[in-house]
Each structure stands twice: as structure tokens, then as C-alpha cells.
Amino acid sequence: MKPFLSLWRRHRFLTSAFVLAMVVAIFFAGRTIFFVVYWADPARQDLPPEPWMTIGYVAHSWHVPVEKLARDLDLPPPPKDGPRPSLERLAEERGQSFEDFKADIEASLAELRRQGPPK
């Protein structure tokens, strides 16, 4: 503890920057571990579309490119930042019932799976 205190007394700015960098690194490492564990869970693979999900969530669960799934459904690509509409909201915007939209999504997912990974 003494070496840290002496370092703090001599170089407050550098010590603060180092501690801040460590906190940021730990935050992003924890976030990465959380997402890896979350999506590696077999219970999260190939989930049937639900009204609360987004196109990106479905695409991630099925391991298909979100841009291709959106294009197959005649939707604009989801925004990188900001709110993403739920499948229920997208169905309403299209004037479809959720069940009809779900059938379209499932057909698109089956086709994308049949095509295989991009080359």
C-alpha cells in the first residue's frame, strides 16, 4: 500500500488515469464475458420469434446476418444506435397480425439457414 501512496503523492494525474483505465478495461471485459455467456447458452439458440424481440435479437439467436433478414422482410436495416422497434411494432407498421409476420420471419430464417454462411 505504501508504494501506491507514494506514487499517488508524486503523480496524481498519472495514477488517476491508470486507475480510470483499469476500471474501463474491467468494465468492458465483464461486459464481453456477460455477452459470451448469454449467447452461448443453448436456451438462447434458435428461439421462435416473440412479440417483444427485435429483428437483431432474432438474427443473433439464429446466427444469420441481420441485414439479410431485414432485407428479406422488406425492412430497413436496424439502426446501429437508438431504439429498435419490437417485432410486434414492426407487424403493426406493416399492417399485419403478429402471427402472419412471424410466419414471414420463420420462412426467411429457414431460407437463410438453407443458404448457409456467407462466402
Each residue of 48-103: pLDDT tens digit? Answer: 999 999 999 999 899 999 999 999 999 988 888 888 999 999 999 999 999 999 99
Strand partners, 99: none
DSSP, collapsed to helix, strand or coil, labels residue 90 as helix
Q: Determine the Cα–Cα distance for residues 25 and 38; give it in Å rounded to an integer.
A: 20
- Over residues 12-31, the pLDDT tens digits come to 999 999 999 999 999 999 99
pLDDT of 91 reads 94
Residue of 61, 58, 79 whose CA lies nearest to 69: 58
pLDDT of 118 reads 60
C-alpha cell, 27? 468494465
For CA atoms 107, 64, 93, 51, the dihedral sign is positive
Task: Compute CA distances 29 → 15, 17, 34, 105, 117, whole Å.
Answer: 21, 18, 9, 34, 28
Name the one residue in this structure whose C-alpha cell is 496524481.
12
pLDDT of 70 reads 93
pLDDT of 16 reads 92
Most confidently predicted of 4-13, 36-45, 99-108? 99-108
Q: What is the DSSP letter of 76?
A: P
pLDDT of 40 reads 81
Burial of 54 (0-12, 13-18, 19+ CB in 10 A): middle
Q: H or E stretch including 92?
A: helix 87-94
Q: Does residue 46 carry a pLDDT above 90?
A: no
